[in-house]
Structure 1
Amino acid sequence: MVATSAIAKSSAALGPSTPAPASAAGGAAHFPFGAVQPPRPIPAAKVSTHLGQATDLRTLLAGKITAVQLMFTGCSAICPIQGALFGQLQQALNQRKLPVQLLSLSIDPLGDSPAALAGWLRKFEAGPGWLAVAPQVADVARLSQLLAGDGEDPRQSADVHTAQVFVINRSAAMSYRTATMPAVEPLVDTLTRIVQEA
């Protein structure tokens, strides 16, 4: 079982809309959330999966509703709670038979080898439909800023680590992003609505 008490304690401490910490470089401490209009296309970017396969991020996303989290396996603070959140989310999605893919996207490709990513998934008892990938170093900042940033401020970078969940539609475009560290049930309700409307 995933660490439900850790999620509860963290959610109580952070609150449903508490901003994620600012970066050491002075990045924004508040991240936009809610529906993204128009949906923001995810660019083509080479990634390595937890199975050691080289592929393209858009290829993994196209044709599926996907919930994405930013993480890195060496994190000992918020990332393990995010992993536990996805563990609970996967259980809830399976119970409702919702066709939603989960993707843990590393922001530390130098430290996150396929073996490290596979270990991350094992730690949270990931089942089929939950992938972990690491992009190339050159793509980390633009992917992180595209997902968590305002799309305009070039100073935002991968140094800004958010505990949001990003929903990617079947056209491989971000259509929704949650507040920091969302609760599982409201997130499942949101994903249910998105699947039904897709």
Structure 2
Amino acid sequence: MNTGPIPTEYTSIRKFTRRALLRGLASATMVAMSSRLYAQHAGMGVVSPPVRLDDAWLIDQTGRKHRLNDLLGQHVTALQTIYTGCSSVCPLQGALFSAVQERMPDIHARHPIQLLSIGIDPLSDSPSALHEWLMRFQAGPGWNAATPALGDVDRIRTALSGSSLPLGDIASHSTQIYCFDANAMLRWRSADLPRADEICDVLNALGRV
């Protein structure tokens, strides 16, 4: 057995791992606090009665303008809110949708399935930034991104949350997934950062409605 001094590089790795763990615990604590204080971490589960969001114009990753409910209509949609400058939870959200995208061919539905990433920082979430963000996660044709006008961002976030609590800033935005049926009705809200299989199960169920 080696009883000599612990190599310096091993000690550094241990310190780094401990710092990473402490940062993770701190982040988890802040999210837990936010869930009690802010609307974007509000109720989860089946939305009853279903909700239609007020319409708004959005610009997608190609620079084209769409009405929100036109984007949602005729598709079963899993929607997430992101911003392209986010380096904390948004990469996790991108990885989550990437995992869902891999499973989409196994979903047999009456309506097309799509993924929609909504940018909530219109000053930075330009079409080119949205395009680069999608390419980072190898998004296919069934996964699009779009950004509303600045004046519509909080209105959309509030409607998604289903709560009257204050929103907080975009840095603490929700990592919930919102699922819509083919009539553009919000039918389900996930917990924060749900499993890909859970999202697929909901899309599969809504696709048969």
Whole-Å separation in 2 of the counterparts to 1:174 and 1:19: 27
The answer to whether 1:84 aligns with 2:95 is yes
- Show the counterpart of 2:76: 65
Q: Post-superposition shift, 1:124? A: 0.4
Residues 1-198 of structure 1 correspond to what in structure 2 (within 5 A)?
A: 20=31, 27-28=38-39, 30-98=41-109, 99-150=112-163, 152-153=164-165, 155-156=166-167, 159=170, 161-196=173-208, 198=209
Whole-Å separation in 2 of the counterparts to 1:112 and 1:29: 19
Whole-Å separation in 1 of the counterparts to 2:73 and 2:31: 29
Greater shift in the superposed pair: 169-178 or 82-91: 169-178
Cα deviations by residue, 1:43-101 (Å, 9 ceiling, x for unpaired): 11010000000121111111111100000010000001100100110110123355311
Q: Summarize the Cα distance change of 1:30–1:51 in structure 2 as closer, same or farther, 3 Å threshold.
A: closer
**Unmatched tracts of structure 2, length 5 or more:** 1-23
Q: Post-superposition shift, 1:28? A: 4.8
Q: TM-score, normalised by structure 1?
A: 0.82
Q: Post-superposition shift, 1:29? A: 7.6
Q: Summarize the Cα distance change of 1:149–1:38 in structure 2 as closer, same or farther, 3 Å threshold.
A: closer
Q: Larger radius of gyration, structure 1 or 2?
A: 2
**Unmatched tracts of structure 1, length 5 or more:** 1-12
Q: How many residues align?
A: 178
| Structure with greater helix percent | 2
Q: Summarize the Cα distance change of 1:106–1:84 in structure 2 as closer, same or farther, 3 Å threshold.
A: same
CA RMSD in angstroms, aligned pairs only: 2.2
Contact 1:112 1:134 in 2 (8 A): yes
Q: State the one-letter code of the partner of 2:206.
A: I
Greater shift in the superposed pair: 121-130 or 141-150: 141-150
Contact 2:78 2:199 in 1 (8 A): no
Q: Post-superposition shift, 1:148? A: 1.9
Q: TM-score, normalised by structure 2?
A: 0.78
% identical equivalent positions: 37
SS of 1:132's equivalent in the other structure is: strand
